[in-house]
Structure 1
């Protein structure tokens, strides 16, 4: 390789406008969905800007490393899927997708620093999947997602959950399976941490008094757990040479 030349990245498959148009589908509720999943795409195809009025966009199981700033042009998007790519950061303009209620970023290379503050502008977002990334902590911007109902955090490096995120008013399910929620206290604390592996949250108005009392007691126990320590062994997914190669057992979690 000559001096001063940069190593070329993956070229991937070239997507033409004709191919993209042939990938348009109608959903059961009459929405337009552009499905470009599992096509070996390495660069976001700019030609699909001519189809920016779609309601759903699926670019999962590709080789994308970057989401361009012009993602904001997809004003009608309600459903966006980027799972199983190589994305390391999100553009600030993603906050302009004001109709988005579903966002899947599972199985990428994201960290807390990868998520811009503008993510908190997604006021209609109800489902957010951040599983199988590199999160050791969660950014405060998630606390602005007041409509969020489900949050996927499985297979990360988390050692705790911020209270302002757990207490989101409409959050009903948080999946934190296979995170290093370690501690050095007694067996009772161990049991509490294990129950975090599948944590469900409901509004107080939906609970009877005995159940509400029990949940508050459990929350008090969680608030006392301050001595979490990160796992000495980082979680890796060496088998994921190609998307889905070793993740078949958990596909329903991160789709």
Structure 2
């Protein structure tokens, strides 16, 4: 269950087309954003298909369990926010949103994501934190424009190898995953470790800092003191 959620069941709120139209906002840069967050929606309203020419779609903080196949009608959106719902899976049709720059799926119940997500060639931010993921499909390595990926609070026991192919990646979050640190580091994991920006030294206690320094020395021993 997604964290911070109430356990009671709800039939959800019914949204009419007129209500949805009243939720369309214009940003300072001229983007049209449909904000249906905090509406207690249990399903994505079918009527919003008539508003598919918007630039951003916010369905966060609802009770949604399924993303409908008609999501692919929103071919112009550059931001899709579905965080803090009850999603257990994603439709493959989401891969048709070729203009997506930001996809936020944080705080759901996802145990896997479709390999078709690797077709979102323009994506630069992908947030998958607070789910139940144990692995990523190798196709994620095809997201050559990806700069930020959030994977914290999942079930990863190892750093996904596909991340090493993301040449523009600037930030990875793997906090609070059961990463098996005793595993012998592979060449791929060494490359990715150099890209992680998790915590400053000043934030660590002496014991934690000592452990980090020990692990760092192990990496240096494996690589001969050179960059992997």
TM-score by length of 1: 0.69
Q: Is the 8 A contact 2:125 2:147 kept in 1?
A: yes
**What's the offset of the Cα at 1:167?**
3.3
Structure 1 counterpart of 2:95: 95
- Aligned ranges 1:1-255 → 2 under 5 Å: 10-112=10-112, 115-184=113-182, 199-200=196-197, 221=219
Structure 2 counterpart of 1:241: none
Q: Is the 8 A contact 2:142 2:165 kept in 1?
A: no
Query: Deviations for 1:196-221, whole angstroms, at most 9, x for unmatched residues?
Result: 6x9149xxxxxxxxxxxxxxxx6x93
**What's the offset of the Cα at 1:166?**
3.0
Q: Is the 8 A contact 2:139 2:162 kept in 1?
A: no
Q: Which moved more, 1:136-145 or 1:82-91?
A: 136-145
Distance in 1 (alpha carbons) for counterparts of 2:147 and 2:48? 30
Q: Is the 8 A contact 2:159 2:179 kept in 1?
A: no
| Structure 1 portions without partners, runs of 5+ | 1-8, 187-191, 202-217, 225-255
Q: Is the 8 A contact 2:37 2:60 kept in 1?
A: yes
Inter-CA distance 159–30: structure 2 relative to 1 (3 Å threshold):
same
Inter-CA distance 14–166: structure 2 relative to 1 (3 Å threshold):
same
Structure 1 counterpart of 2:205: none
Q: Is the 8 A contact 1:72 1:94 kept in 2?
A: yes
Structure 2 counterpart of 1:209: none
SS in 2 for 1:103: strand
Q: Is the 8 A contact 2:12 2:42 kept in 1?
A: yes
Structure 2 counterpart of 1:210: none
CA-based RMSD of the aligned residues comes to 2.6
Distance in 1 (alpha carbons) for counterparts of 2:164 and 2:183? 22
SS in 2 for 1:199: coil
SS in 2 for 1:106: coil
Structure 1 counterpart of 2:3: none
Inter-CA distance 169–183: structure 2 relative to 1 (3 Å threshold):
closer
Runs of 4+ with >2 A deviation: 182-186
Structure 2 counterpart of 1:205: none
How many residues align structurally?
A: 189
**What's the offset of the Cα at 1:41?**
0.1
Distance in 1 (alpha carbons) for counterparts of 2:183 and 2:170? 28
Distance in 2 (alpha carbons) for counterparts of 1:62 and 1:185? 39
TM-score by length of 2: 0.77
